[in-house]
Amino acid sequence: MIGVILLNLGGPDSIAAVRPFLYNLFSDRDIIRLGPSFLQKPIAALIIGVKLRKTLAAYNLIGGKSPLLDITSAQAKALEEMLNRGVGESENRRKSLCADSPFRPFSGSPVPRFTGSDVPFRVYVGMRYWRPFTEETLEQMHKDGIKKIIALSMYPHYSVATTGSSVKHFEDAAVKYSFEYSCITSWFDHPLYIEALAARIEEGLKGFETKPLVLFSAHSLPLKIVASGDPYVKEIQGTIDALANKLDLQWSLSYQSKTGPVKWLEPTTEHMLHELAGKGIKDLLVVPISFVSDHIETLYEIDILYKRMAKDLGITLRRTEALNTSAEFIEALADIVSRKVAASGWM
């Protein structure tokens, strides 16, 4: 049996969990460096003290918790079912889409056909900053007799602050076991992922009488990380380029969710809304380009905060539905995993 662990950020599963979740997040120097290392945790605590009331209010507006665990668990279940069912009827379609893919980790690899009797899979969830923590999931995988693991980052675009931190945490926790493992750290240009995004965008465009501007809103990143050679911005642009080649779009790019006392990527989505209003834009379709699941950044920042701001600026703002458990997205994940299994020689 092959185990698959979906590595993700995690989110508070109750209002009481918001503070400790934020503390875990801001204490991670791979995400943001707050002064010298010995001051990281004290400064993190100060920032949380300033942000807590506003953050609690935001979570209360979206149901009192993050839906990220529920959605990631549903993705894991759907992925496990698809992997154990095999590529089946979609095999020819997958071959035609992926045979000449520039998707570097698996370019040229065959598209294997799996069935439950050939290579059984079991898919788990491991979170970085809240339960179930990756180390807890690895302990369970060990108890379940898993020997080989595919660690799949649920961030399509690599950054040391997201995938890098999650994979490092996974590898540190895996040391105590005798797992054989392989990590998938980037899949920003995988053709089935692009197709899943394109389907969401096409559906979103139908909600407008006239063709809107498409605003790709990506999670921001401290400028120091990008300046050090982090590929995140280039990979975001790679995804957008692939979509622009597939769809006829007028688009812009902005960054959201900046926090902490350092310089972040620009333009911010807030600034972009004002800029677009100044250019006379009236209809806007926001695509949360770096998010594969709904959580506070989509449900509060875009759906509530930015929509309200846009309305005040005379803009009709709608958002594409997150990929969540769409059939196209689960199919993309299954292809990514199956190709990695083949490349690892586990079949």
Rounded (to 5) percent helix, strand, coil in the chain: 50, 15, 35
pLDDT at 60 over 50: yes
**What global pTM score does this model have?**
0.91
Return all residues near 255 (Cβ < 8 A) that are at least 6 apart: 217, 218, 219, 220, 221, 264, 265, 266, 267, 268, 269
Instruction: With beta carbons less than 8 A apart as the criterion, state whether 214 and 249 touch.
Output: yes
pLDDT digits (tens, 9 = 90+) for 264-317: 999 999 999 999 999 999 999 999 999 999 999 999 999 999 999 999 999 999
> Average pLDDT of 86-108?
48
Which of 225 and 100 is assigned the larger pLDDT? 225
How far is residue 1's CA from residue 148's CA, in Å, rounded to a whole number?
7
Instruction: With beta carbons less than 8 A apart as the criterion, state whether 252 and 272 touch.
Output: yes
**Tokens standing for 159?**
């950054």
How far is residue 142's CA from residue 280's CA, in Å, rounded to a whole number?
58
Instruction: With beta carbons less than 8 A apart as the criterion, state whether 157 and 239 touch.
Output: yes
> Average pLDDT of 166-194?
97
How far is residue 314's CA from residue 287's CA, in Å, rounded to a whole number?
19
Instruction: With beta carbons less than 8 A apart as the criterion, state whether 250 and 287 touch.
Output: no
Return all residues near 9 (Cβ < 8 A) that are at least 6 apart: 25, 68, 127, 128, 129, 162, 166, 295
Band the pLDDT of 54: cuts 50, 70, 90. Answer: very high
Band the pLDDT of 242: cuts 50, 70, 90. Answer: very high
pLDDT at 91 over 90: no
Phi, psi of 42 (to 5 degrees): -60, -40
How far is residue 87's CA from residue 254's CA, in Å, rounded to a whole number?
36
pLDDT at 103 over 70: no
pLDDT digits (tens, 9 = 90+) for 15-29: 999 999 999 999 988
How far is residue 341's CA from residue 347's CA, in Å, rounded to a whole number?
7
Q: Which amino acid is at 129?
A: Y
Band the pLDDT of 104: cuts 50, 70, 90. Answer: very low
| Least confident interval from 35-49, 125-139, 234-248, 298-312 | 35-49
**Tokens standing for 52?**
């807590």
Across the chain, mean pLDDT equals: 91
> Average pLDDT of 330-335?
96
| Confidence (pLDDT) at 90 | 45
> Average pLDDT of 112-137?
81
Q: Go through the domains of the chain in sequence order and give each one's CATH number.
A: 192-319 (3.40.50.1400)
How far is residue 57's CA from residue 110's CA, in Å, rounded to a whole number?
49
How far is residue 246's CA from residue 160's CA, in Å, rounded to a whole number?
29
> Average pLDDT of 171-177?
97
Band the pLDDT of 110: cuts 50, 70, 90. Answer: very low
